[in-house]
Structure 1
Amino acid sequence: MEETAAEVAAPVPARGERIERNRTDHEREGAGEGRGYGILALVLSILSLFFMPVLLGAAGVILGFIARRRGANSLGAWAIGIGIVSIVIGVFILPFF
């Protein structure tokens, strides 16, 4: 009598070890799609520094989160950061000038 449950279950890593997983072609294609969203989000966030900071900044932040979700981590993070800075400047600093 052999126990075969270990063959079906996913391997559990020991402390400090990481399990390497091969990326499929479908996962690699998602990064290209996320890059397009990331570029669009970054463009909207940069434009929000000059025009309509709340509206374009919010759009840049939302698209930045979508881009990060689809694999473009750095583009999405930059878009989120610039969009938030633009919203803060537009709401709290610009009214005094």
Structure 2
Amino acid sequence: MENEEQRRRKDVYEADFMEETAAEVGVPYRVGEPHAEREVIDIDRNRNHEVAGRGEGTGYGRFALVLSILSLFFLPIILGAAGIILGFIARRKGALTLGAWAIGIGVVSIIVGTFILPFFS
């Protein structure tokens, strides 16, 4: 009888440690939930919209980037401000990366032109 009782306790003891714990780390996802499928569709729709709208602002973005790069060499305040403004317009029209680079380079140009270059003239 003791042998059987010990064997049963051993089985219960081992069964407690046979759990899989990887599910605690993963993102909970249930196949039947409609909102999970809706999120995937929305992400695809946003990507398609971004790709489709890219052609409208590309010209603005390129021109803004050219102005911002030129502002690094001369007229940093004027050309940098124009590059920043056109960068915002390009981002609104869909050229997100070109607009962001134009804004960033324009800001750097204005900061360098205002605070650092006067010490070297």
TM-score tier after normalising by the smaller chain length? 0.7 to 0.9
Aligned-residue offset at 1:18: 1.7
Partner of 2:82: 59
Matches within 5 A, 1:16-95: 18=39, 20-21=41-42, 22=45, 28=52, 30-95=53-118
Aligned alpha-carbon RMSD (Å) = 2.1
Structure 2 unaligned blocks of 5 or more? 1-34
| Structure with the greater alpha carbon radius of gyration | 2
Between the aligned residues of both structures, percent identity stands at: 68
The structure whose residues are more often helix, as a share, is 2
Aligned-residue offset at 1:92: 0.4
* Higher RCO, 1 vs 2 (CA within 8 Å, ≥6 residues apart): 1
Q: With structure 2 as the length reference, what TM-score do the two structures score?
A: 0.60
Partner of 1:10: none
